[in-house]
Chains A and B, each alone.
Chain A
Amino acid sequence: EADIYQTPRYLVIGTGKKITLECSQTMGHDKMYWYQQDPGMELHLIHYSYGVNSTEKGDLSSESTVSRIRTEHFPLTLESARPSHTSQYLCASSEYGAGVVGTGELFFGEGSRLTVL
């Protein structure tokens, strides 16, 4: 079944550890996005990709990095986690991108809730 998957769903980790949040989609979408969401706050775009080997930083500055080696896979990495990285991270994908008139639908994963102690 075509879907978008995020793992882990929940992660509690100590300061200084390296973490990777996985995001995979089986919908064949070229566009993929990472949003960060603090409780009660808006979603902030931190990374996006329009295709393989294409990655750009979003509106919110983030110390995380991403890669897009395969169409279906868009992992996010924090080399050294800090308590300020505690947040929910949402991965999304779309076929046409948000700006194409008449579409604009992003499909979201279930999210990865990260807690850094």
Chain B
Amino acid sequence: AQRVTQPEKLLSVFKGAPVELKCNYSYSGSPELFWYVQYSRQRLQLLLRHISRESIKGFTADLNKGETSFHLKKPFAQEEDSAMYYCALVRSEKLVFGKGTKLTVNP
């Protein structure tokens, strides 16, 4: 089955520390992957897409086909990064989401 797995339900780091949110996928073919974020009391929104190879708010994510992973990384976490993060995979022109990881950045 084509799906994404986010193994960590909760992740807590201190401000200034590096952070990595894990995402593994199962997909036959070339996957299209995204990271979505939901800040407290805000809507779910796109953070970044693998095809763009972009850095948004200091976050990057590299597609590793060998490890079937798409981990989200930031070298120095900020308190405002605290949010729910969802990894998502395109399947038949629709998005399939993981269970999400709640990131808390402590002062």
Task: Write the residues of chain A forming the contact surface with B, with a CB cutoff of 8 angstroms.
Answer: 33, 35, 40-43, 45, 48, 58-59, 90, 92, 97-102, 104-111
Whether the Cβ atoms of B43 and A104 lie closer than 8 Å is no
Whether the Cβ atoms of A99 and B90 lie closer than 8 Å is yes
Task: Given A98-B90, A104-B49, decide whether A42 and B44 contact each other with a Cβ distance below 8 A.
Answer: no
Q: How far is the CA of A104 from the CA of B88 in the complex (A)?
A: 10
In the complex, what residue of chain B is closest to A103 when comparing beta carbons? Answer: B49
Whether the Cβ atoms of B99 and A104 lie closer than 8 Å is no
Task: Write the residues of chain B forming the contact surface with A, with a CB cutoff of 8 angstroms.
Answer: 9, 32, 34, 43-46, 49, 51-52, 86, 90, 92-100
Q: How far is the CA of A107 from the CA of B44 in the complex (A)?
A: 8
A-B contact pairs, 18 of them (CB 8 A): A35-B97, A42-B97, A42-B100, A45-B94, A45-B96, A48-B94, A90-B44, A98-B32, A99-B92, A99-B93, A101-B32, A101-B51, A102-B49, A104-B46, A104-B49, A104-B51, A109-B43, A111-B43
In the complex, what residue of chain B is closest to A42 when comparing beta carbons? Answer: B99
Residues of B near A104 (CB, < 8 A) are: 32, 34, 46, 49, 51, 90, 95
